[in-house]
Amino acid sequence: MIGGHATLVGHSFENGLLILKKVRIGKKAVIDLNAVVLPGAQIGDGATVAAGAVLVKNTVVEPGSLYAGVPAVLSNKKVDGPQDLDRMKHAQSF
C-alpha cells in the first residue's frame, strides 16, 4: 500500500549523468503518508516505511521491519501478531 503524497523516485543526476534505478517494493509492504523513497531502494515483504520518512538511495529494508526518520533508519521490528505483542510487553517489564 502506498499512502497519500508518498514519493517514489527512480532516477538521480550524478556527475552530470542521468542515473536510472528501480525501486523494489515487496508484497504487503506499506509506504506511509508523505514518505519519500529514493532510487535503488528495496523494501521487503511486509515492511513499513513510516509517514514522513526519507529512505535514501540503495537502502535495503528487511522483510517485516519498520524504517522511520530523516534519513530513515531501522526503528523496530513490526508486531506480527498477539504472541509478538505479549513478548514485547514482557520485555518492557524488566
- Counts of helices then strands in the chain (DSSP H, E): 1, 12
- Determine, yes or no, domain membership for 2: no
DSSP H or E segment with residue 57:
none
- Determine, yes or no, domain membership for 43: yes
Query: Side chain identity at 39, as an amino acid letter?
Result: P
Domain that holds residue 79: 7-92
- Determine, yes or no, domain membership for 45: yes
pTM confidence score: 0.79
- Segment 24-41 shows an average pLDDT of 97
Using pLDDT thresholds of 50, 70 and 90, give the confidence band for residue 76.
Answer: confident
CATH code assigned at 48: 2.160.10.10
